[in-house]
A and B are shown apart, each in its own frame.
Chain A
Amino acid sequence: MKQTRSGIRLISLILAFGVLITAVTYAGSIYVSGRKWLNNEQNTRISAARKTTLQGTIYDSAGTALAESYTAGERHYISDDAARLALAHTIGDQYGQSAGGAESRFATTLLGMTDLTRTELTISAITGSDPVGYDIVLTVNAELCKYAASLFPKGKTGALVLINYKTGAILAKVSLPAFDPANIEASVADTAYYDRVLQYRYAPGSTFKTVTLISALQNLPGVENETFDCEGTWQFADYTLKCAGSQAHGEMNLVRAFAESCNITFARLAYRMGAEKLKATAESFGFNRTFSFDDVRLNPSYCLNGASTAGEVLQAGFGQGTTQATPLHMAMISGAIANGGEMMEPKIIREIRRHQSGAISTMQSEVFLRAADEDTCLKAAKYMYEAVRSGTGTRAKISGYTDGYVCGKTGSAESTNDKSAETDAWYTGFIYGDEAHPYAIAVVIEKGGSGGQTAAPIAAAVMKKAMELSVY
């Protein structure tokens, strides 16, 4: 009998523990993932609520209404066609076609489907008026986005993103081709609903040399004083590596190799460090991991993995092979270098407001990760400054601007194995030492040719415009 009692006590305890775990997991998962579950495209409650709720307004950072409703069930978008198309992926649409846009991602906020509006729901049920959702103020500037989209060469697709590297706020974001939120039935290009800034993984090409550079500065002592020799091509076992146009850079130090974007030197650096060290540095910058940010759903970027071949390691040195990154992630890497190694979590909501009334929550900046130490970042920033001053990125210079230093790196990435195809034109960079304009940028123009020729001038123009508009 005594034995039975102790058995009963033990098993009851285990079961009681199970009940406790269930209750805690229940509350915890609602707290952690409840919003994610609710804002899922499959939540039919959202489309039902859109018919009966007066949806909140979406504003840009300058206070322009991007999407607004006057009665339940209808939606009006910003009437300027160019701005609407430039902001299409940021605004999103009412049908969940572009799932990353504010209309879908923040649907439950815009519809007021949270517990905070319970009293308002009750009041509206009694008075018979439509329930009202919250307003959202985004961090992006509509005019800047419109201007940035207009700079893309005609017919070219690609992505541009400008962030504030001190706060993590996304100031401008353009993805082309676009769709029209106001006319979702119109036929569009195949990939028009993808937000290239967040969802497309490109080969980053030479812009990835910033990461290789930082890895080399950390892992190869004395590398800054070495001399490198480039003959234009390098045969390593079965692999033939080439610099742009197979042109020989000749003898040079690391600063020149970075500024002139010498592939062979960076492949050699990758070879000397080995896969493990380069991979470790890339991972400290956020490669090979799942992002779970509150505001944006950013696809993961990949660098090397455990099964990488020697050729892939060499190619990773200059951002080819298996290396893939999203434009926003490249901008975040530049931002981290400018910010002394601190990578900020990207934010796109500046404020949530009660409809046409006061703010109930404002943006809180958060450090996402510490990517590298301050000294190395400062050195890398100098290298990037040299690349713009006298290297491949001279077209990124901002005319008449003297308050800070324009630093950057160009890239011309091969997106297919077809050597005759045009390369993707890349530029990523930042403004250093200007408190009022802490901008970091990433631009990619698909099949745009040389990054220095096509992407760098766009970056310069966008940052200049951002200063004129004093976007922060």
Chain B
Amino acid sequence: MSRLRLKKQNAQAESFKKLLYRTNEQPLLFLVCAFQIICMALLTFKTADGKADIFSLRMLFLLPFGTYAALKLVSRMWPIDRALFLLTAFLCSLSVITLRAVFTTTSKAETQALYLPIGFAAMLIGICVSRTFMSCSGFLRAAMLPCLALMALPLAFTTASAARSWVKLGTFQFQPSELLKPATALILASEFSRPAKNVKAWLPGALFGAALCAVLLVQRDLGALFLFFILTIAMFTAGTGHRKTALCVILLAGILSAVFVTYADRIQGFSYLSARMAIWRDPWNTDIESARQIRQGLISIASGGLFGSGLGLSSARKVAVVGSDYIFAAVSEEFGMIFALGVIAVYFVILLRGRMTALSCRNRFQALLAFGCAFELTSQMLLIVMGNLHIIPLTGVTLPFVSEGGSSLAGSMLLMGMLLGVGSINAQDEYDDLMRVSAGRRAKT
């Protein structure tokens, strides 16, 4: 083979590579950076005392630069789905912007900005993990027990009054359930993609999911419980194809939870549930003081109107826990309904691209993993947004990437990283195929 020919072949390979990852990311990159710059510029000059806000000014440069650098770094290493990456970057910067706009006196936005590099690291880890585990493995089965132990860890730190889902180590605290979401997706993908078709093959995975749910029930973290439950059911259905079994389990769980909620009064520690239901039925009943949060949330969402109050001009502060549970209300009020619908659409795109990635996978494990990640992110968004909009009772889960908090961001980033990793394997497979085809064609001629 002559040198010239080799060079030509390399050039061809390069053009193939470009063709393969069809995402033309330039316009999207431009849009995301423009959004970051405009918002941060506004926040820099919109201050109560008339002085420029140094943090926002810094972020005005750091956010677009960070986005650009991170994109270049990752796409140099792996052929990832860059659109998905940029949408994640958009949601993360939306988090910092909204927190800065709403909390003018506290340093929540600063803390969140510090979490962003950690989140990016988590995403890199996620990519590496999904590129390491290529199919179902005994290691992942062995990881079940440590995972369960980690989930149960907060019980060791519990005092009677405190929340039961946090682990505290000195000043550092985290929520294991957030970090266990990606681990669970990985383990379940492995369990439900075993080649054998009998009950023995899928039972450990199902038991693992059930055990997680049981631990969360003891911790009274019902939002997380629901998320883990539907994640297990969804991955079980997709992996094993036993749709009837899945349907029966859903029905059974529905009946059980209905009974549970009805008799919640008499169950030790769950009496707050009936209060929650009363709030959900009639949040405008002013006799119920604890319904104040949802009332203020709805008022806040409606206050935004179509185009929002403008950055930093809202009164979203009045909603309790606006930084995490009610960040969607803050986004709606600051940016307006059209923008907030756009944010919902971003998650929709994440779901669609996750589905696309899963469908073009070469093996079941990877397909399940990609699907599980996309499912988890979207279903969590639905749970909290529907709660904020008073469509379903409110549960305290976070809006992925947007809510404040390090554990939540790291967990979501790990999920996104695994999804991107599977996508990169797909891209390489596709590339290899194309090379093979073109080599074959060359051999013929």
Question: Which of A5, A10, A19, A33 is within 8 Å of B344, CB to CB?
Answer: A19
Q: Is the interface of B mostly helix, strand, loop or mixed?
A: helix
Complex Cα distance, B318 from A73, in Å, reads: 22
Q: Pick the interface stretch among B62-70, B149-157, B367-375.
A: B367-375
* B337 x A30 contact (CB < 8 A): yes
* A42 x B296 contact (CB < 8 A): yes
CB of A290, distance to nearest CB on chain B (Å): 13
* A38 x B284 contact (CB < 8 A): no
* B389 x A3 contact (CB < 8 A): no
* B305 x A115 contact (CB < 8 A): yes
* A27 x B296 contact (CB < 8 A): no
Question: Is residue A8 within 8 Å, beta carbon to beta carbon, of the partner chain?
Answer: yes
Question: Is residue A23 within 8 Å, beta carbon to beta carbon, of the partner chain?
Answer: yes
A32-73 residues at the B interface, CB under 8 angstroms: 33-35, 37-38, 40, 42-45, 48
* A40 x B284 contact (CB < 8 A): yes
Q: Is the interface of A mostly helix, strand, loop or mixed?
A: helix
Which residue of chain B has the shortest Cβ distance to A35 in the bound complex?
Answer: B302
Q: Pick the interface stretch among B107-115, B172-180, B377-385.
A: B377-385
Q: Which residues does chain A contribute within 8 Å of B315, judged by CB atoms?
A: 44-45, 48
Interface string of A308-331 (1 = CB under 8 A from B): 000000000000000000000000
Counting contact residues on chain A (CB < 8 A from B), the size range is 35 or more
* A8 x B367 contact (CB < 8 A): yes
A320-348 residues at the B interface, CB under 8 angstroms: none
Evaluate whether A11 and B238 lie within 8 angstroms (CB atoms) in the complex, with A37-B298, A40-B295, A115-B306 already known.
yes
Question: Which of B299, B363, B379, B389 is within 8 Å of A26, CB to CB?
Answer: B389
Q: Which residues does chain B contribute within 8 Å of A43, judged by CB atoms?
A: 299, 303
* A7 x B344 contact (CB < 8 A): no
Question: Which of B239, B351, B358, B390 is within 8 Å of A15, CB to CB?
Answer: B351
Q: Which residues does chain B contribute within 8 Å of A7, judged by CB atoms?
A: 237-239, 241, 243
* A19 x B238 contact (CB < 8 A): no
Residue picked from A12, A16, A25, A34, most chain B C-beta under 10 Å: A12
A341-376 residues at the B interface, CB under 8 angstroms: none
Residue picked from B302, B306, B351, most chain A C-beta under 10 Å: B302
CB of B349, distance to nearest CB on chain A (Å): 10
B281-315 residues at the A interface, CB under 8 angstroms: 284, 286, 292, 295-296, 298-299, 301-303, 305-307, 315
Question: Is residue A292 within 8 Å, beta carbon to beta carbon, of the partner chain?
Answer: no
CB of A402, distance to nearest CB on chain B (Å): 51
CB of A300, distance to nearest CB on chain B (Å): 15
Evaluate whether A15 and B379 lie within 8 angstroms (CB atoms) in the complex, with A4-B239, A22-B385, A38-B302 already known.
yes
Evaluate whether A45 and B303 lie within 8 angstroms (CB atoms) in the complex, with A11-B234, A23-B341 already known.
yes
CB of A87, distance to nearest CB on chain B (Å): 26
Which residue of chain A has the shortest Cβ distance to B305 in the bound complex?
Answer: A115
CB of A302, distance to nearest CB on chain B (Å): 19
Complex Cα distance, B306 from A26, in Å, reads: 12
Q: Which residues does chain A contribute within 8 Å of B85, judged by CB atoms?
A: none
Complex Cα distance, B385 from A11, in Å, reads: 19
A222-250 residues at the B interface, CB under 8 angstroms: none
Q: Which residues does chain B contribute within 8 Å of A15, judged by CB atoms?
A: 351, 375, 378-379, 382
Question: Is residue B213 within 8 Å, beta carbon to beta carbon, of the partner chain?
Answer: no
Q: Which residues does chain A contribute within 8 Å of B340, judged by CB atoms?
A: 26
Complex Cα distance, B233 from A7, in Å, reads: 11
Q: Which residues does chain A contribute within 8 Å of B133, judged by CB atoms?
A: none
Residues of B near any A CB (own CB < 8 A): 193, 234, 237-239, 241, 243, 284, 286, 292, 295-296, 298-299, 301-303, 305-307, 315, 318, 337, 340-341, 344-345, 347-348, 351-352, 355, 358-359, 363-364, 367-368, 371, 374-375, 378-379, 382, 385-386, 389-391
Residues of A near any B CB (own CB < 8 A): 1, 3-12, 15-16, 18-19, 21-23, 25-27, 29-30, 33-35, 37-38, 40, 42-45, 48, 113-115, 118
9 pairs of A and B residues whose beta carbons are closest in the complex:
A7-B238, A3-B241, A37-B302, A34-B302, A12-B355, A115-B305, A8-B371, A43-B299, A37-B298
16 A-B pairs besides A25-B386, A26-B340, A48-B315 with CB distance below 8 A are: A1-B367, A4-B238, A4-B239, A4-B367, A5-B358, A12-B374, A15-B379, A22-B344, A27-B337, A33-B302, A34-B305, A37-B301, A38-B299, A42-B295, A44-B318, A45-B303
